[in-house]
Amino acid sequence: SFLDIPKEPCRVLVTGATGQIGYALVPMIARGIMLGPDQPVILHMLDIEPAAEALNGVKMELIDAAFPLLKGVVATTDVVEACKDVNIAVMVGGFPRKEGMERKDVMSKNVSIYKAQASALEKHAAPNCKVLVVANPANTNALILKEFAPSIPAKNITCLTRLDHNRAMGQISERLKVHVSDVKNVIIWGNHSSTQYPDVNHATVTTSKGEKPVREAVADDNWLNTEFITTVQQRGAAIIKARKLSSALSAASSACDHIRDWVLGTPKGTWVSMGVYSDGSYGIPEGLIYSFPVTCEKGEWSIVKGLKVDEFSRAKMDATAEELAEEKTLAYSCLN
Ligand code: NAD
Ligand code: LMR
């Protein structure tokens, strides 16, 4: 109605904005896919000096696309200017993994970037800025960002495992020949790495006969306990092998899903996976950014509590926690 007050624009930072994911992500944000069709946005794009000209080219294209929701573009190689007053920060900047590398291998290149950018965000972002780290090793970069931005509440710093979550739903939907939106409540536990544990023990699928546990619908525990898990764990590597480049459109789309659900809430009865600071739930040590099942309401996530964990799951959840503890040690040794 005429009484509707237009929303204030939301400032969204994308680092590494000229990269593959950045280039896929910024138009999605400008179209309202991340924050909704009634939320104006001002895009802040950061990249490094060698990419300055390309960054300006992306800004030109954003202007040329005439997005109705896009109220401004800040394109800069200055991290302070980039972080100024941002409400959402999507941290994609860094070096991607190449064929044959583990995500750990990109550690030393990336953790020092996250230490430096932590300080800029802490000093210059809007209060209550929500941070999503996409760049690998995503959990450990997010942890370093948290440790070097002590005044940002830990609950505001997350990493992307929604891509893995979506991949798990995709595999189930392909197997059962159902639409992916009929699959829900898979879980990604742990690290965004090949030790992650994609868990379907609480997942359901909606069929013409109502809602069913995925285990019952698939009726092949052997596939679920072996091939399904490794396919999801290795999907990033499979994309690199096929494209000679790491996943980009799916990563950008999943980053939008992550922020949208965090800000606007998860649908009733549905959870999603997010890498968040562990509070000790499910016996996962505090002091790690670990992927848990979460629900979101009023801009806050909370870990889904009380799910039954069997022995098989326990071992896999602990193994990926152990890898994260090792990565944390390695990250600190890279910083020293
Ligand atoms: P890319 O190389 O195409 O783009 C990275 C961009 O970051 C480049 O434009 C580069 O100039 C920029 N950059 C480098 N250092 C920077 C800094 N200090 N500040 C700002 N920008 C900087 O890589 P990509 O394919 O877009 O991937 C980006 C990252 O995301 C990689 O680390 C990749 O491994 C990771 N990734 C994560 C997931 C996930 O699910 N968590 C999925 C896919 C990719
Ligand atoms: C992915 O999962 O696609 C990304 O993390 C890229 C990678 O290195 O696997």
What does the pLDDT read at residue 67? Answer: 98
Q: Tokens 């499979």 — which residue?
A: 238
Ligand nearest to the CA of 90: 1
Q: Is the CB of 131 under 6 A from ligand 1?
A: no
Angle at alpha carbon of residue 273, lines to 290 and 114, rounded to 5°: 50
Which atom, in ligand 2's list, is nearest to the CA of 164? 2
Verify whether ligand 2 is closer than 6 Å to residue 167 (CB atom). Answer: no
**pLDDT tens-place string over residues 36-47:** 999 999 999 999
**pTM, 2 dp:** 0.97
pLDDT at 237: 94
Residue 122 in tokens: 């802490």
pLDDT at 97: 75
Question: What is the pLDDT at residue 336?
Answer: 80
> What's the gap in Å between 201 CA and the centre of ligand 1?
33
What is the model's pLDDT at position 3?
65
Cα 149 to Cα 48, 122, 217, 223, distances in angstroms: 21, 5, 45, 43
Model pLDDT for residues 293-336, shown as the tens digit of each residue: 999 999 999 999 999 999 999 999 999 999 999 999 999 988 88
Between CA 25 and CA 291 the distance in angstroms is 22
What are the distances in angstroms from CA 158 to CA 76, 127, 276?
A: 24, 16, 5
Q: Which residues are catalytic?
A: 192
In whole angstroms, give the CA distance from residue 118 to residue 127. Answer: 14
| Ligand 2 probe mutation, 97, 101, 231, 234, most atoms within 8 A of CB | 97
The SS3 assignment for 220 reads: coil
The C-alpha atoms of residue 263 and residue 175 are separated, in whole angstroms, by 32
DSSP label of 190: B
Question: Is the C-beta atom of 275 inside 6 A of ligand 2?
Answer: no
What is the ipTM, given to two decimal places?
0.99
Strand, helix or coil for residue 332: helix
Q: Does residue 20's CB lie within 6 angstroms of at least one atom of ligand 2?
A: no
Q: How far is CA 214 from the centre of its chain?
A: 24
| Residues 214 and 172 sit within 8 Å (Cβ to Cβ) | yes
Pocket residue to mutate for ligand 1, from 74, 95, 140, most atoms within 8 A of Cβ: 95
Q: Which of 21, 45, 272 to mutate to test the pocket of ligand 1 (most atoms within 8 A of CB)?
A: 21
From start to end of the chain, where are the E strands? 10-15, 41-46, 70-76, 88-91, 130-133, 157-159, 183-184, 187-189, 197-199, 204-207, 210-213, 272-277, 289-297, 300-303
* Ligand 2 centroid, distance to 129 Cα (angstroms): 25
Annotated binding site: 16-22, 47, 97, 103, 110, 134-136, 167
Spatial separation of the C-alpha atoms in residues 235 and 147, rounded to whole Å: 30
Which atom of ligand 2 approaches the CA of 237 most closely? 9
Q: Which distant-in-sequence residues (6+ apart) come within 8 Å of 310 by Cβ?
A: 201
Closest-CA residue to 39 (of 195, 335, 288, 260) = 260
Instruction: Name which residue sits closest to atom 4 of ligand 2, judged by CA.
Output: 236
CA 262, CA 241: separation in Å to the nearest integer? 32
Q: Is the CB of 97 under 6 A from ligand 2?
A: yes
Residue ranges at the known binding site for substrate: 97, 103, 136, 167
Residue 136 CB less than 6 A away from ligand 1: yes
Helix pair 249-264, 162-176: axis angle to 10 deg: 110
Q: What is the pLDDT along the chain (336 residues), one digit of tens a residue?
A: 566 777 899 999 999 999 999 999 999 999 999 999 999 999 999 999 999 999 999 999 999 999 999 999 999 999 999 999 999 999 999 987 777 877 677 888 889 999 999 999 999 999 999 999 999 999 999 999 999 999 999 999 999 999 999 999 999 999 999 999 999 999 999 999 999 999 999 999 998 889 999 999 999 999 999 999 999 999 999 999 999 999 999 999 999 999 999 999 999 999 999 999 999 999 999 999 999 999 999 999 999 999 999 999 999 999 999 999 999 999 998 888
The per-residue pLDDT for 68 is 97
